[in-house]
Amino acid sequence: MKEKVILAYSGGLDTTAIIPWLKENYDYDVVCCCIDCGQEEELDGLEERAISCGASKLYIVDIIDEFCEDYIMPCVEANAVYENKYLLGTSMARPLIAKKLVEVARKEGATAICHGATGKGNDQIRFELGIKALAPDLKIIAAWRDSHWTMDSRESEIAYCEAHGIHLPFSADSSYSRDRNIWHISHEGLELEDPACEPNYDHLLVLGVSPEKAPEEGEYVTMTFEQGVPKTVNGKEMKVSDIIRELNRLGGKHGIGIIDIVENRVVGMKSRGVYETPGGTILMEAHQQLEELVLDRATMEVKKDMGNKLAQIVYEGKWFTPLCDAVKAFVTSTQQYVTGEVKFKLYKGNIIKAGTTSPYSLYSESLASFTTGDLYDHHDAEGFITLFGLPLKVRAMKMQEIEQKKQ
């Protein structure tokens, strides 16, 4: 009986070519596994394609709700943003994909897991760290790094498939390299490979329009949160995945969440891409607006550091680590009172505040106003400034003393 390998299968050209390649070079029984993170129409026709290429079986595993609730929301609550721009759309999905690949491998009694991530990217790290953390006994085959892999272009992959009697609707024409899930879609390649080139947004965008082509009138949106988790949009209660879908619709319509970034990959090189994250951008901004009201200064200061740390952890594929668990636990503890309502206007790529309320708001109008209230006497500031500035004054006095001795 042949050993089984679980192939992380997207249905694209790379993973389609890998099916006959695995059979030819390793004599495996190939079981394909497609993890549904919200790719939508990209999943159409996958089973027929996988079986026709030589796979014995195809699993399609729906992880959308688990992805939204257990992976996306901890990052939203932390405000985890990599290098000030990237909302971790691909990064957050990879550890959960690895987890599901391991579960299918255990179910099938497989001895190996194969992925089609290239040797230049971050995904190879994220997949493999997840698999190592959850199933250290399983063999990992990275096709693009394998000594048996000789294909180096779309043309060569198509030729390989045709030589094995596989005729598929893939063109050798160049196109963007994309990754899509319910949270975002990323675009790389073509003109984006040159940072001097402006993105061709008319050709590129999938989830929405550019701000220039957004409606001339803004649109108000109201959201409510309970303990950091979104509950309603415009008065309608929904689960997190449906809230993200609705925000994607609204954000795409108004040109929200389009970023052009040159980021630092884990492997050491810089890469340029355009990311569309319309719903995610709105959700993170609304969550932050509510936190402004309810979190104290010291907690916000540390939470900002923890958000940056979680972004780095997730970007580097270290989800299943004690450090990740510890950072998420801290963030969860800060969300106890992040409850309330946020209203904002979407207009040509902008999210404009229109009012925030919370029963746990620490904002005091009597304290913040210019009039003197019972809790604050303007004269109290004098003593505070004296003590707060004492180290500066002492140092300045010492420097004066040293300068005088030189004269």
Residue 146 exposed, middle or buried by CB count within 10 Å (0-12, 13-18, 19+): middle
In angstroms, the Cα distances linking 35 to 12, 142, 276 are 13, 18, 21
- Which phi and psi (to 5°) does residue 121 adopt? -100, 180
Instruction: State whether the Cα torsion 255-256-261-264 is positive or negative.
Output: negative
CA 316 from centroid of its chain's CA atoms: 12
User: Active-site positions?
Assistant: 14, 94, 123, 177
The encoded tokens of residue 314 equal: 């997730």
Phi-psi region of 162 (alpha: psi -120 to 50; beta: other; left: phi over 0): alpha
Each as own residue / partner, the long-range contacts of residues 38-42 (CB below 8 Å, 24 or more positions apart, any chain) are 38/64, 38/67, 38/180, 38/181, 38/182, 38/183, 38/241, 39/10, 39/180, 39/181, 40/180, 42/10, 42/11, 42/180
Within 10 angstroms of residue 282's Cβ, the number of other Cβ atoms is: 28
In angstroms, the Cα distances linking 166 to 16, 18, 162, 256, 377 are 9, 12, 5, 41, 81
351: which strand partners?
346
232: which strand partners?
224, 237
The residue whose two tokens read 């901004």 is 285
Instruction: State whether the Cα torsion 319-90-268-144 is positive or negative.
Output: positive
In angstroms, the Cα distances linking 134 to 89, 127, 130, 213, 399 are 22, 11, 6, 46, 59
The encoded tokens of residue 233 equal: 């949009």
